[in-house]
Amino acid sequence: MLDRHATLTVAEPRTPYQLTTTGQPWLEVLVDRPYPRDSQEDQQILTYSVPPDLTVEIGDILSVPFGSQVIGGIALRFLENLPAGLEENQIRPVEDVITKGFFPDNYWQLLTKIAQYYATDLITVVRVALPTGLLRSSQRRIRLKPEAIPPGAEVFCTPLSRQILSLLKNQKEGDYSAKYLQEKLKNANYGIRDLVKRGWVESYLEAPKSTNIKQKKAITLLITDFPADLTENQRKIVEILRHQGGEMWLPELAELAGTKHFKPLIDKGYVVIEDREFLRLSSSIMSRDQPKTLTSSQKQALEAIQTLKGGESALLHGVTGSGKTEVYLQAIAPILAAGKSALVLVPEIGLTPQLTDRFVARFGDRVYVYHSALSEGERYDTWRQMLTGTPQVIIGTRSAIFAPLPHLGMIILDEEHDSSFKQSQLLPTYHARTVAKWRAQLNHCPVILGSATPSLETWLESQANPSLYLSLPDRIQNRPLPRVEIVDMRRELQRGNRSLFSQSLGSSLETLRDKGEQAILFVSRRGHSTFVSCRSCGYVLECPHCDVSLSYHHTEPGAQELLRCHYCNYGRIHPKQCPECGSPYLKFFGTGTQRVTQELTKEFPDLRCLRFDSDTTRNKNAPRELLKLFTDGEFDVLVGTQMLTKGLDIDRVTLVGVMAADGLLYHSDYRASERAFQTLTQVAGRAGRGETEGKVIIQTYTPEHPVIRAVQTHDYEGFVETELMQRESLNYPPYGSLVLIRFSGLDGEAVQKSAENVAEECVNNFGSDWDILGPAPATIMRVANRYRWQILLKLSGEKADIDRLFRPLKSLVLPKVSMAIDVDPLTIE
């Protein structure tokens, strides 16, 4: 525990928050009351006073008066002065400390550090970290400690305390909920407090129960051969079971085998059916999986991981299919064996069933999934479950970095380069990789950053220290990386090929079915066409609320033709005539997933095509179901967007086609090349993961583009070298640092004025090492009727004091204009 006067120190010497009472009587408490819908943000944070005889620490769970009730709360921070508008006589005292140590060590230091670095309020950080309703279902209980009561000492305490003691003594376990005692005895709390102080009773929160365990029927195979008395159907069942590792959920076997008639097999003693725990995972596999014998580079990597010191982060650089996941699994096993837990972060769209299944197959019911799509109840359950401290593996997306694992032994970020690890739109604008490093330093555990295409930041850092660079240069079983063919679409046109599919892609698709293989086609846009314009007058149909064109959506013949805005989701029926000149000749430009699927069906009627994008996978379980159809071989071609780039490991996919790479190459952003290289390499990596060699066909109008060249030759290092030189010359990350200030509001002039005020202040008050670019309108100036301006600040060297520099800027912003500070922005558009 910290000293009474300790202030927080996390890597930086100065911090505004204090951990314990230092004679400041005011305390901000995050209270447990339903979020009032129509009110100001901070209605859940109330100010209380701390009675002189009570020691409160930040992070303590408290009971506080609220109206006529007593409710739960978390001590957030001490205040030197009362907030404006509050009078001393309005402030009520904290009632009691219910429990200490509800959060893992250093948890509040971590949240505080995030608040400072990203220049946001602590409560904003608390909101992303803690599940809502954390306290709501908490229950405070009082337990007698008979051994601590000196014989005969009871006569010296107050009548109230004596009454409580006698109530507790009459209960078998000496244990009642505080609520019960309060109902029984008036002012019971004074007595409880007295007894807690004497150490005769203890106050605790009901121990977190593990997640509601659901039972489900599982069937297990007991034989290893095929006895002669099996009927043909029974033989088929045994075969399926064997193929699945000898154990399956009953409904799944029933579905695969097409029968529910297992009784004869049970009677013969060949299988048993019993109830098993069903994890709250969407996963349903339970086949056991054994550690694989590592290749020599996997072994080297694993050994290096095991010698990492606490707080160090290493890069595991391995091409797709090189066996990184196997290294993670074997790195985690000893962590669990040592009674610690591991945190595995994956990109939002990387949280595929395939990945979680592999972890479950290895670690069984010690694997939990934690991500933002969980319901409030599920999040809450997982949270409480984690606090029990049992060794476990949490797999989750960005916000899982806040998982309250008490004995954290390792943090892994898979596909560490992925931009979904950064929260860009909401506050705080944290990056899970940055937070992971802080957390690892606080908890003295290592971080593993895995990627086939590491971010330039991580690459540069690992180059500085060779012991932190671990490489898996080859695919497992020396499977070759797929051959990448670049097709110049301008030539195709010259040759008179007006189809979306080049000759090369077309002929590969034609032979696909005969060979029993599968293909993935990558399209960078969903929808049908990226925009619609009039051939007669050139009018482009635009969103009335945003400065962007509308996309044409047409799912199937006969369906309603729609136009949709991909920024605000505005939709309208596709007009028959140009709204401007009445001409009936509207033309579609650009290609989306729907159009590719339609053309594919037209040109290759034999191929069975499945579309996989955010339109078809909106439903929570849809991605899993669609992918299963594809892996089961019900379809030949999967057509999809960005969602396809991650984690798909399907043996029979031998062909990957990129419809038009150009959509990825041209963006105003300084990271456009890096992102394009990563996406194309990831997509290409989906090909040839099985026995048969894979082939990638990239269609483009600019085959000479350096990114396309680097992808073709799988030349990560060459690409990085050129790209780093450019970044260095312009002082962009990973050399310089960036902070983006974004302004938005309905009144365009007010937004512009606010941006100008703030920019002027920065010019006047920030030191000369800050380069101030702007203010300028955002690339798309208006989205959902809100005007958007921004200022980009560039700093050579390390950032310090972000909070102190940027916080005062907020006062320069006009009413109804919002200002957001994005520290280390990934997109500047």
Closer CB to ligand ADP, residue 295 or residue 744? 295
For residues 829 and 778, the answer to whether their CB atoms sit within 8 Å is yes
Q: Which residues inside 465-484 make contact with ligand ADP, applying CB under 6 A?
A: 476
DSSP state of 619: S
CA dist 61 to 79, 203, 220, 240, Å?
18, 11, 46, 52
* 350 touches ligand ADP (CB under 6 A): no
Instruction: Tell me the two tokens of residue 361.
Output: 């197959």
Q: Minimum CB separation from ligand ADP for residue 564, in Å?
A: 34
Q: Which residues inside 296-325 make contact with ligand ADP, applying CB under 6 A?
A: 298, 318, 320-325
Q: Minimum CB separation from ligand ADP for residue 323, in Å?
A: 3
Closer CB to ligand ADP, residue 295 or residue 678? 295
Q: Minimum CB separation from Zn ion for residue 775, in Å?
A: 23
Closer CB to ligand ADP, residue 295 or residue 757? 295
Q: Minimum CB separation from ligand ADP for residue 293, in Å?
A: 6
Q: What whole-number distance in Å separates Cα of residue 533 and Cα of residue 550?
A: 10
Binding partner at 534 among ligand ADP, Zn ion, none, C-beta below 5 to 8 Å by kind: Zn ion
Could you tell me which of 554, 556, 552, 580 has the C-alpha nearest to residue 564? 552
Q: What whole-number distance in Å separates Cα of residue 395 and Cα of residue 279?
A: 14
Q: What whole-number distance in Å separates Cα of residue 440 and Cα of residue 31?
A: 29
Q: Minimum CB separation from ligand ADP for residue 653, in Å?
A: 13
Closer CB to ligand ADP, residue 298 or residue 508? 298
The torsion defined by the Cα of 519, 524, 529 and 532, in degrees rounded to 10, comes to -160
Binding partner at 539 among ligand ADP, Zn ion, none, C-beta below 5 to 8 Å by kind: Zn ion
Question: Does a cis peptide bond (omega within 30 degrees of 0) precede residue 404?
Answer: no
Instruction: Tell me the two tokens of residue 240.
Output: 């399926």
Question: Does a cis peptide bond (omega within 30 degrees of 0) precede residue 623?
Answer: no
Binding partner at 567 among ligand ADP, Zn ion, none, C-beta below 5 to 8 Å by kind: Zn ion
* 649 touches ligand ADP (CB under 6 A): yes
Closer CB to ligand ADP, residue 474 or residue 771? 474
- Within 10 angstroms of residue 655's Cβ, the number of other Cβ atoms is 26
Type of residue found at 401: I
Closer CB to ligand ADP, residue 290 or residue 375? 290
Q: What whole-number distance in Å separates Cα of residue 611 and Cα of residue 617?
A: 9
Scanning 293-301, 422-430, 754-762, 778-786 for contacts with ligand ADP by CB under 6 A, the matching segment is: 293-301
Q: Which residue has the tokens 């709390």?
A: 189
Binding partner at 565 among Zn ion, ligand ADP, none, C-beta below 5 to 8 Å by kind: Zn ion
* 631 touches ligand ADP (CB under 6 A): no
For residues 775 and 812, the answer to whether their CB atoms sit within 8 Å is no
Scanning 155-163, 233-241, 292-300, 579-587 for contacts with ligand ADP by CB under 6 A, the matching segment is: 292-300
Query: Residue 393 forms beta bridges with which residues?
Result: 342, 367
Could you tell me which of 432, 397, 452 has the C-alpha nearest to residue 678? 452
Q: Minimum CB separation from Zn ion for residue 548, in Å?
A: 6
Instruction: Tell me the two tokens of residue 179.
Output: 């609520």
CA dist 501 to 283, 487, 507, Å?
37, 10, 9
Binding partner at 568 among ligand ADP, Zn ion, none, C-beta below 5 to 8 Å by kind: Zn ion
What contacts 14, CB < 8 A, 6 or more positions away?
801
Q: Which residues bind Zn ion (CB under 5 A)?
A: 534, 536-537, 539, 543, 545-546, 565, 567-568, 570, 578, 580-581, 583
Instruction: Tell me the two tokens of residue 359.
Output: 């972890």
Closer CB to Zn ion, residue 275 or residue 580? 580
Binding partner at 294 among Zn ion, ligand ADP, none, C-beta below 5 to 8 Å by kind: ligand ADP
* 551 touches ligand ADP (CB under 6 A): no
- At residue 353, the 3 state secondary structure works out as helix
CA dist 528 to 2, 594, 780, Å?
60, 4, 22
Closer CB to ligand ADP, residue 320 or residue 429? 320
Binding partner at 298 among ligand ADP, Zn ion, none, C-beta below 5 to 8 Å by kind: ligand ADP
Number of amino acids touching ligand ADP (CB under 6 A): 15
Binding partner at 494 among Zn ion, ligand ADP, none, C-beta below 5 to 8 Å by kind: none
Binding partner at 581 among Zn ion, ligand ADP, none, C-beta below 5 to 8 Å by kind: Zn ion
Closer CB to ligand ADP, residue 141 or residue 433? 433
Could you tell me which of 119, 123, 140, 130 has the C-alpha nearest to residue 71? 140
Could you tell me which of 514, 335, 531, 518 has the C-alpha nearest to residue 440? 335
Q: Minimum CB separation from ligand ADP for residue 516, in Å?
A: 19
3-class secondary structure per residue, 495-553: CCCCCCCCHHHHHHHHHHHHHCCEEEEECCCCCCECEEEECCCCCECECCCCCCECEEE
* 623 touches ligand ADP (CB under 6 A): no
* 295 touches ligand ADP (CB under 6 A): yes
Binding partner at 670 among ligand ADP, Zn ion, none, C-beta below 5 to 8 Å by kind: none
For residues 141 and 175, the answer to whether their CB atoms sit within 8 Å is yes
CA dist 535 to 532, 577, 578, Å?
10, 11, 9
Q: What whole-number distance in Å separates Cα of residue 827 and Cα of residue 823?
A: 11
Q: Minimum CB separation from Zn ion for residue 754, in Å?
A: 23
Instruction: Tell me the two tokens of residue 748.
Output: 């365009």
Closer CB to Zn ion, residue 578 or residue 656? 578
Instruction: Tell me the two tokens of residue 797.
Output: 């060297």
Q: Minimum CB separation from Zn ion for residue 778, in Å?
A: 14
Query: Residue 220 forms beta bridges with which residues?
Result: 247, 272
Q: Minimum CB separation from Zn ion for residue 788, in Å?
A: 13
Q: Which residues inside 429-468 make contact with ligand ADP, applying CB under 6 A?
A: none
- Within 10 angstroms of residue 42's Cβ, the number of other Cβ atoms is 12
Q: Minimum CB separation from Zn ion for residue 578, in Å?
A: 3
Closer CB to ligand ADP, residue 320 or residue 382? 320
- At residue 829, the 3 state secondary structure works out as coil
Closer CB to ligand ADP, residue 322 or residue 616? 322
Q: Minimum CB separation from ligand ADP for residue 5, in Å?
A: 48
Q: Minimum CB separation from ligand ADP for residue 648, in Å?
A: 10
Closer CB to ligand ADP, residue 28 or residue 326? 326
Binding partner at 324 among Zn ion, ligand ADP, none, C-beta below 5 to 8 Å by kind: ligand ADP
Q: Minimum CB separation from ligand ADP for residue 358, in Å?
A: 7
Closer CB to ligand ADP, residue 326 or residue 723? 326
* 515 touches ligand ADP (CB under 6 A): no
Q: What whole-number distance in Å separates Cα of residue 88 and Cα of residue 101?
A: 30
Closer CB to ligand ADP, residue 318 or residue 592? 318
Binding partner at 545 among Zn ion, ligand ADP, none, C-beta below 5 to 8 Å by kind: Zn ion
Give the distance, in angstroms, between the CA of residue 806 and the centroid of all CA atoms in the same chain: 27
Helices (H), 604-661: 622-631
Q: Minimum CB separation from ligand ADP for residue 681, in Å?
A: 12
**Binding positions for ligand ADP, rule: CB under 6 A:** 292-295, 298, 318, 320-326, 476, 649
